[in-house]
Chain A
Amino acid sequence: MSRTHLGMPSFPPFPEAAGAAVHNATLRANLRHATHTIRDRRAVAVAELADWDRLREAGRQIKDHTLRHLDRYLEQLESAVTAAGGTVHWAADADDANRIVADLVKATGEREVVKVKSMATQEIGLNEALAAEGVSVYETDLAELIVQLGDDRPSHILVPAIHRNRGEIRDIFRAEMGNWGRAARDGLTDDPADLAEAARLHLREKFLRARVAVSGANFMVAETGTLIVFESEGNGRMCLTLPETLISVVGIEKTVPTWRDLEVFLQTLPRSSTAERMNPYTSMWTGTTDGDGPRAFHLVLLDNGRTEVLADATGRQALRCIRCSACLNVCPVYERAGGHAYGSVYPGPIGAILTPQLRGIQSEIDASLPYASTLCGACYEVCPVAIDIPEVLLHLREGVAAQGGKGHRMEKAAITAAGWVLNRPGALAAGEKLLTATRALHPKSPPGAGAWTGGRELPELPARSFRDWWRRNRR
């Protein structure tokens, strides 16, 4: 089997990839401002709900239950979507999915596709695959448009252009919009309202003309066959409503058993993600409806390494992820390294546990990712489905350490990553503050003991700081 495709395949290990980012003071300032703003707002939105912990626990239970019986729920979903007029396709890997989508697009005779932001399609490199078949793909989410026009890479799950400031965005719009459609007006300013207006005008003609759309989905309901997309701008509604053909590529783990299960995630996802009681727009559709919306609906169910993650008793909890990005926004390492450092479409703490599991730990970047953390536990605290990210990181470190003897290539990459983290006093201090608060959550074994010490006995995760522990125990 070929390696699982996750975008950005050949990437240097964590600290080198972070290097370019951290030397850019603008990016650091943008990122710090953005993550601190959103994390504070999230805390307020969550505090509004007295039963937050119970909602979080229910979210965890629903996802665990679904994963345990995923075969059954996928079959149920398939029947429900089919009964409602949709067609279901199964894609074992990225190539499979890309081929299915390309064939579906070509069968319509169209050469253009409008697209709603979707992690799954980024993961499989769908845009590049369609471009190779002569199909133009237009990203319609504002941040994705900024990334696409800037020939850039996304750096955040929710706000992929979080590393760009308004001046840079204005320059990209001025230089590039005209090459792809309606140009930005003369005298475009860097006022966010002006920039949003430019995007509205640029994309409107594409929406009105589009015959084929590609989306992902946040959830799929097995009992009803309903798909759900959360969004803010209305580009999702445009793509899901106006074209004649809709193709949705969705990871198999996005399934929930019942309609009622949505009552949990409709409360926890918006508050965790955009810190809103509810995001501006949520679309739900079940197959096709006569006279309303697309006449043809195709659902491509994507595995691409997920069943391998599912087979790992510790690691499978990563499949509970609802991609809210709360863990990125609280992470002291993400804040300093930036999203590009993680070398895949999944940055931040969730990326550090998901990417090495989906892709395997054969490359330096993937072996280094489990070390791109201070293990402070802030990610676990905010996660609306209670994924114990530090636990999975430690588990993955054991895997890296087991791969080869002392001094092998992967171990070096890992140690460099950890050294990068540990040499950032700000990250550590922020992490330690959080760590003290969450110490009870942490396993007793020291981080990546094998990789660090070649088997020497180590003290338990110390009562003293992690930094002291590391100084004492590094070679």
Chain B
Amino acid sequence: MTVTPPSSPSSSSSPSSRERILARIRAAVAEADDAPAPTRDYLVSHIPDDPAAALDLLHRNLTDYRATVHRITAAGLPRLIADVLEKHGARSVAVPDGLPREWLGATDAEARGDEGPLSARELAATDAVISGCALAIAETGTIVLDAGEGQGRRALTLVPDLHVCVVRAPGQIVASVPLALPRIDPTRPLTWISGPSATSDIELDRVEGVHGPRKLEVVLLLAG
């Protein structure tokens, strides 16, 4: 029989279950054939290495999953944000730590900083949230949030009903999932967002907007 190391001290389970499971696993696979690590001969990306193509594909895929997408340069961003908030009748907006203040330069909506921090109930009573992102993936139409600068705690981009998310193009856009993972820090809390929340639980009929933000507006912030 294999001798197993003692249970690690911060593990609170009964050591017997731990040792029992590990011993059963060792016995179960003792005679099994070797199973080598994967060959990974799949593609790194499905599109050409071209930032303009990636931007277009991201735009298309986001729209396909019912996000509203805008393209703008820095000079027009404050006006655009103000218009988007107004279009949805949003009078209050949660502002993550580190969000560039000038983005809110044109809106009349009440900015609610998270220094407090905002409670879940306060967030529920806040109409919108504006955030940046860590990364966007063109092939899947996905935005990745890592709770970094300008994104805030996960609750901020979850509880309000409207999420306005700014993606810097081309710097924050990658073509594919395999190209995205090396740029993401797994030790941070991560949220991958592909369109607004949705359900198909009723007769597989897709309905947008259940528990997360019901509206997702993505701003592709172009250099120049």
Which residues of A are at the interface with B, using a C-beta cutoff of 8 A?
A: 30, 33-34, 37-38, 48-51, 54-55, 57-58, 61-62, 64-65, 67-71, 74-75, 78-79, 82, 84, 87-92, 96, 100, 140-143, 146, 159, 161-162, 165-166, 169, 192-193, 195-196, 199-200, 203-204, 207-208, 221, 224, 226, 232-235, 237-238, 240-242, 252, 257, 259-264, 266-267, 270, 274, 276-286, 289, 291-293, 301, 303, 307-308, 310-311, 313, 316
Contacts and interface: CB of A to CB of B under 8 A. Distances in A.
B42 A55 contact: yes
Interface in B175-220: 177-178, 181-182, 186-205, 207, 209-213
Contacts of B190: 282-285
A65 B33 CA distance: 10
Q: Identify which of B29, B121, B188 gathers the most chain A CB atoms within 10 Å of its CB.
A: B29
Interface in B35-73: 35-43, 46, 61, 65
B139 interface: yes
Contact of A62 (B38, B181, B195): B38
Contacts of A38: 204
A211 to B, nearest CB: 11
B202 A169 contact: yes
Q: Identify which of B13, B28, B34, B202 gathers the most chain A CB atoms within 10 Å of its CB.
A: B202
A204 B181 contact: no
B144 to A, nearest CB: 9
A161 B142 CA distance: 28
Given A195-B202, A196-B209, A208-B120, A276 B36 contact: no
A49 B46 CA distance: 7
Nearest to A258: B37
A61 B188 CA distance: 28
Nearest to A66: B35
A319 to B, nearest CB: 10
Contacts of A260: 181-182
Contact of B11 (A89, A141, A308): A89
8 contacts: A58-B38, A67-B29, A68-B29, A89-B11, A208-B120, A224-B187, A284-B189, A307-B24
B198 A289 contact: no
Contact of A51 (B37, B39, B42, B205): B42
Contact of A280 (B10, B139, B212): B212
Contacts of B198: 232-233, 280
B158 A238 contact: yes
A204 B38 contact: no
Contacts of B12: 87-89
Given A75-B22, A82-B11, A70 B142 contact: no
Contact of A242 (B28, B120, B177, B207): B120
Nearest to A37: B204
Interface stretch (B74-82, B103-111, B147-155, B164-172): B147-155
A68 B32 contact: yes
Contacts of B203: 30, 33-34, 165-166, 192
A280 B194 contact: yes
A146 B201 contact: yes
A252 B11 CA distance: 16
B91 interface: no
Nearest to A313: B32
Contacts of A310: 24-25, 28-29
Interface string B78-97: 00000000000000000000
A142 B210 contact: yes
Nearest to A242: B120
B15 to A, nearest CB: 9
B13 A100 contact: yes
Contacts of B26: 71
Contacts of B29: 67-71, 310-311
A277 B194 contact: yes
B141 interface: yes
B98 to A, nearest CB: 14
B117 interface: yes
Contacts of B38: 58, 61-62, 65, 261, 264
A226 B189 CA distance: 9
A159 B200 contact: yes
Contact of B42 (A54, A293, A313): A54
Contacts of B11: 78, 82, 87-90
Contact of A283 (B14, B120, B191): B191
Contacts of B10: 82, 87
Given A90-B13, A92-B17, A226-B186, A54 B41 contact: yes
A263 B158 contact: no
B25 A233 contact: no
Given A100-B13, A242-B120, A263-B181, A233 B194 contact: no
